[in-house]
Structure 1
Amino acid sequence: MVAMLIIGHLVALSCLLPVQPENLTAREIVQKADQKRRGNTSEAEMSITIVRPTWSRKMVIKAWSKDNDYSLLLITEPARDRGTVFLKRKKEIWNWIPSIDRNIKLPPSMMMQSWMGSDFTNDDLIKESSIVEDYKHKLLTDSVILGRVCYKIELLPKPEAPVVWGKIYSWIDKTDCMELKTELYDEDGYLVNQVLFSDIKLLDGRLLPAKMEYIPADKKGQKTVIQYHKVNYGATIDEAFFSLQNMKRVR
């Protein structure tokens, strides 16, 4: 997520119009919401705030993505982290650290470590699993979130799927195909993380939540907040943009 989670984000016409529950399967609803948020390519400006019981820290980030395989994050603030770059190329993550003038490839042993001190892990940047392809989807009772009627959908992993979560609940707005809430459970059925979406506004012509709060269930007063300030969907971004060489040049 940071990846994004953090980055993802061409929306099918049906996602821009009201849809009827009898016309869509649970899988189709999840797929449409995922397409709307991600798009094929995107450029974004965002802030990420790490909140702890006694302190908080804010980063300002520029982000670029192409499909699900490529993303690049440039930290522009605070000053001590300015110029730090993270690059995802398929299953690899690279980190450019300007203070030592080096590109570092993150090894598998670091995948579950915290990303920049946030509630995301480095593994979240990889996001190998697909909420569309790797889970079975089931419609449950409708709910109301932020005054909007939502589908509540249960996602259970398919056998042998490369997923972290034992179960996911997703709440998706019926009218505008927006994901408004997610709950992530471990294999034993315990709630691990809750994701809340809010601040609904037009982002490059499409209605989406501009704010996402990632909240660990067992850590009181702790969360990571992503706020999107500007998004450009459908930007022309060549695959060559996501190169080790460009990590040193991007601004």
Structure 2
Amino acid sequence: MIRKAALILLATAAMTGLASADTTAPAPNPDALLRAAFDNWRADSSQADMTMTVHRPDWERHMEMKTWTQGDDDALVRFTAPAKDAGNATLKKGDETWVFNPKLNQVIKLPASMLAQSWMGSDFSYNDLSKANDLLTEYTHKLTGSTKDGPHTVYTIDAIPKPGAPVVWGKRTVRVREDGIMLGETYFDQDMKPVRIMTTEKVSMIGGRDYPVVMTMRPEDEEGKWTRIETKDATFNQSMPGYLFTLSNLQNPRN
């Protein structure tokens, strides 16, 4: 919480106490805004119970899962329901990602080229569900606008890939509140056409903080398709057992 507070202060310091009647306050730092958003999302560590709904024009699928994160690089996602999906899991550790299929009792390492692909048939990718921080490390950021949303200021930030960055998107446009709440993200292909749009549909207090508890991803050109993730419960900044983010625990989870 101390790190998040410091980053938000950095992002907004130029807006308080510096402007006079005939001057305009400098814009906040987009790097600090995005860092604050990720710190709100992941904290130093997080554990959450979530549901995922995959909607298609002629069917709908509901799943439940647990997620754990630690620092910027480690994440574990494990499905708990329905029975046919229970046990499927994804582990991200550093720059490497593995999936476990309980029916095959097999762990598979994913190449980097697959991380932007659909995860469990949803509209979210492996990177999305593991809360990967490549948005912070592989892109440069530019503040492009701001709007008011009730008492809050919402900033729009364009993220452009750094030269040679191992990413698939030509651009990502992010909307972040001044207090570090992620409100949305649009993903563009290399021709700068929007491919999919993520929207935060509900912000609520959870785990002692305001949090984007309902997030929906929609493909831009496919009518009636969307995937919604809802966070039911979460705790932050709790110590994690050393075995949690290991291949052994991915395949044989401990209680």
TM-score under structure 1 length normalisation:
0.84
Structure 1 93/220 Cα, relative in aligned 2: closer, same or farther at 3 Å?
Answer: same
* 1:144 Cα deviation after fit: 4.0
**Whole-angstrom CA distance in 2 between matches of 1:126 and 1:205:** 22
Q: Deviations 1:76-105 (Å, cap 9, x if unpaired)?
A: 111111122222222333233333333333
* 1:130 Cα deviation after fit: 2.4
* 1:22 Cα deviation after fit: 2.9
Other structure's SS at 1:80 match: coil
Match of 2:88 among 84, 89, 94: 84
* 1:225 Cα deviation after fit: 0.8
Other structure's SS at 2:135 match: coil
Partner of 1:183: 186
Match of 1:135 among 132, 136, 139: 139
Structure 1 87/133 Cα, relative in aligned 2: closer, same or farther at 3 Å?
Answer: closer
Partner of 2:77: 73
Contact map agreement 1:47 1:61 (CA 8 A) in 2: yes
**Whole-angstrom CA distance in 2 between matches of 1:37 and 1:123:** 14
Q: Deviations 1:17-55 (Å, cap 9, x if unpaired)?
A: 794363731222222222221212111100011111111
Q: Deviations 1:194-247 (Å, cap 9, x if unpaired)?
A: 110021111111111101111110111111111001111111114432122212
Other structure's SS at 2:145 match: coil
Structure 1 226/147 Cα, relative in aligned 2: closer, same or farther at 3 Å?
Answer: farther
- After superposition, residues 193-232 of structure 1 pair within 5 angstroms as 193-232=196-235
| Counterpart amino acid of residue 48 in structure 1 | M
Structure 1 22/250 Cα, relative in aligned 2: closer, same or farther at 3 Å?
Answer: farther
Structure 1 111/204 Cα, relative in aligned 2: closer, same or farther at 3 Å?
Answer: closer
* 1:11 Cα deviation after fit: 4.9
**Whole-angstrom CA distance in 1 between matches of 2:127 and 2:135:** 15
**Whole-angstrom CA distance in 2 between matches of 1:33 and 1:55:** 33
Partner of 1:12: 4
**Whole-angstrom CA distance in 2 between matches of 1:249 and 1:26:** 39
**Greater Cα shift, 57-66 or 28-37:** 28-37
**Greater Cα shift, 130-139 or 98-107:** 98-107
Match of 1:120 among 118, 121, 124: 124
* 1:113 Cα deviation after fit: 4.2
Structure 1 157/145 Cα, relative in aligned 2: closer, same or farther at 3 Å?
Answer: farther
Unaligned segments of structure 2, at least 5 residues: 16-24
Contact map agreement 1:91 1:126 (CA 8 A) in 2: no
**Whole-angstrom CA distance in 2 between matches of 1:171 and 1:14:** 20
Structure 1 27/103 Cα, relative in aligned 2: closer, same or farther at 3 Å?
Answer: closer
**Greater relative contact order, per chain length (Cα 8 Å cut-off, separation 6+):** 1
**Whole-angstrom CA distance in 2 between matches of 1:231 and 1:70:** 17
User: How many residue pairs get matched?
Assistant: 242
| Counterpart amino acid of residue 5 in structure 2 | L
Higher Cα radius of gyration: 2
| Counterpart amino acid of residue 243 in structure 2 | A
Other structure's SS at 2:157 match: strand
Partner of 2:31: 27
TM-score under structure 2 length normalisation:
0.83
Unaligned segments of structure 1, at least 5 residues: 1-9
Other structure's SS at 1:28 match: helix
Partner of 1:244: 247
**Whole-angstrom CA distance in 2 between matches of 1:109 and 1:139:** 29
**Whole-angstrom CA distance in 2 between matches of 1:200 and 1:13:** 18
Structure 1 40/245 Cα, relative in aligned 2: closer, same or farther at 3 Å?
Answer: same
Partner of 1:59: 63
